[in-house]
Amino acid sequence: MKKQFDFLIIGSGIAGLFYALKASKYGKVAIISKEDIYNTTTVKAQGGIASVMYNPDSYDKHIEDTINAGAGLNNREVVEIVVKEGPTRILDLINIGTHFDKDEDGSFDLGKEGGHSENRVLHFKDKTGQEIQRALIHEVMQDPNIFIFENHFAIEIITQHHLGQTLKKSSPNIECYGAYIFDTKSKEVFTFLSKTTMIATGGCGNAYQNTTNPVGITGDGIAMVYRAKGLIENMEFVQFHPTALYNPAERPSFLITEALRGAGAILKNHKNEDFCLKYDSRGSLAPRDIVARAIDTEMKLSGEDHVYLDARHIDKEKLITHFPTIYAKCMEIGINISKDLIPVTPAAHYLCGGIKTDVHARTSIKNLYATGEAASTGLHGANRLASNSLLEAVVFAHRAAEDITDTQWYSQEVFNKIPEWNDEGTIKNEELVLISFSRKEVQQIMSNYVGIVRSDLRLQRAMDRLNVIFKETEDLYKASKVSVDICELRNIINVGYLIIKQAKERRESIGLHYNSDLA
């Protein structure tokens, strides 16, 4: 069955919802949410949203910090746009009812995180993402022009390929007409047609074994655009958060916000040494690529699978009031953070690359936009500065919404020609367990060979292993009725392939991409 909207948004985190509120001024909006609208990576963001607010901070300092963290691979024009437009978008968030913590004098209580030269992280306790998501959902629910489809999963974006035309990779003439969307409850596939489509599906943390991302974050948007022959870049820059709680059976890994290090917590090894100082004079608050690699090295030296975060010297009241989520979570598993060391280990956290976009969030495919973690705007370079991602999402969601009235919209005739989803000849797959085995294999390959430290041999081995699973999965996909499990598996294989391929092509160690053969 066909459904037609003016604007289709795939993804319901900060990028998708913020864009929805802006786009709804121009027409009817459909939001596709893979699970319930609340279950997003945004909700997991504890630390906050970085933005220049007061002296002695300045745009220049934020710009330089972003470029230093990104090892200079950033697009300077984009960095300037995000930093300078950031404060206005923060006001937008406040105007829709988002709360950020304030000091007694009424000014914002600005936190500090790794790589920032000033305090500039607006936050709401240690649940900033939750607070932003709450405020956005509240607004979106009241907007009569916004229609929310929860438990709907995007299988493919629709292009001329579905009209029987052969398209060349990265051709500038590919057009997007919407997407095939699977209702995970009724098991029906709907054809969503739209004048423009926005990909806001987040990153791909679940291509790895341990990630701070929700389990449904499987690179869906990036994989769809790749299969539609759009441009994908910088996939080798996968950011591992240095401090996920070491609790091996837990999925996703629970984040211990960098803001805790900003408040004074220090990383220690098993000999109780403040080891980060051996690697960088900024110690535990050096940028994430440096800290994650330092932890990786220490774990390899000691043979242990975690290090510790020491917050015992921080005032107990401050721990409880500023970090209530972390305090409660650790207590739940028997760790009193005001008395005990917190065991931590790095976990896949954020993808700096993704779908290549311009300064209006346009992708290389016509009438297809991308924003948030799925997009590669050029802001992050080789390593994202902490808390820059929520800011990037709102700045580019706004820019995309300003741009949509300039795009050439399709005639009804074009939409009438789009075929419905065709699953003739497929069968219900009875071997679901094979899909979950393959998912685990992919995650193992990526973690073992394409993690924090890589080498030419490891990357080649990963590619060879992944190719085998790719062929098996494509055969299975073609023969099976659509399911979220098989689609997610295809997607993590596609993004895994892109990470490995682009890591092999990057012939230097820089930022988050560390190849020991090129060190």
Torsion sign (Cα): 375, 380, 383, 385: negative
Our answer to whether residue 261 is catalytic in this structure is no
Q: Which is nearer to ligand SIN, 32 or 45 (CB)?
A: 45
Rule CB under 6 A: say whether 205 interacts with ligand SIN: no
The residue range among 42-50, 227-235, 291-299, 322-330 that interacts with ligand SIN, by the rule CB under 6 A, is: 42-50
Rule CB under 6 A: say whether 51 interacts with ligand SIN: no
Q: Which is nearer to ligand SIN, 126 or 139 (CB)?
A: 126
The residue range among 250-258, 293-301, 352-360, 446-454 that interacts with ligand SIN, by the rule CB under 6 A, is: 250-258
Q: Which residues contact 469 (CB under 8 A, 6 or more apart)?
A: 438, 441, 442, 445, 493
> Which is nearest to 203 in space by CA: 386, 74, 353?
353
Q: What is the largest CA-CA distance in the chain?
A: 70
Contact 325, 44 (CB under 8 A): no
| Residue 212: both structure tokens together | 């701070």
| Residue 263: both structure tokens together | 């408040």
Please give the Cα distance from 503 to 454 (Å, whole number).
9
Q: Which is nearer to ligand SIN, 292 or 463 (CB)?
A: 292
Rule CB under 6 A: say whether 257 interacts with ligand SIN: yes
Rule CB under 6 A: say whether 259 interacts with ligand SIN: yes
Element (H, E) at 178: strand 178-183
Q: Which is nearer to ligand SIN, 115 or 378 (CB)?
A: 115
> Which is nearest to 292 in space by CA: 267, 272, 271?
267
What is the chain's alpha carbon radius of gyration, rounded to the nearest angstrom? 22
Q: Closest approach of Cβ 311 to ligand SIN, in Å?
A: 14
Rule CB under 6 A: say whether 45 interacts with ligand SIN: yes
Q: Closest approach of Cβ 203 to ligand SIN, in Å?
A: 11
How many CB atoms lie under 10 A from the CB of residue 302?
A: 14
151 φ, ψ to 5°? Answer: 55, 40
Rule CB under 6 A: say whether 111 interacts with ligand SIN: no
Rule CB under 6 A: say whether 258 interacts with ligand SIN: yes
Q: Closest approach of Cβ 287 to ligand SIN, in Å?
A: 12
Binding mask 331-370 for ligand SIN (x = CB under 6 A): -------------------x--------------------
Site for ligand SIN in 363-422 (CB under 6 A): 386-387, 389
Rule CB under 6 A: say whether 284 interacts with ligand SIN: no
The residue range among 186-194, 252-260, 324-332, 493-501 that interacts with ligand SIN, by the rule CB under 6 A, is: 252-260
Single residue of 12, 41, 42, 46 touching ligand SIN by CB under 6 A: 46
Measured CA to CA in angstroms, residue 472 lies from 438, 476, 478 at distances of 9, 6, 10
How many CB atoms lie under 10 A from the CB of residue 118?
A: 18
| Residue 327: both structure tokens together | 């305090």
Site for ligand SIN in 123-142 (CB under 6 A): none
| 3-class state of residue 309 by DSSP | strand
Single out the catalytic residue among 288, 384, 458, 490: 288
DSSP 313-350: TS-HHHHHHH-HHHHHHHHHTT--TTTSPEEEEEEEEE
Rule CB under 6 A: say whether 47 interacts with ligand SIN: yes
Q: Which residues bind ligand SIN (CB under 6 A)?
A: 45-47, 255, 257-259, 350, 386-387, 389
Catalytic machinery residues: 288
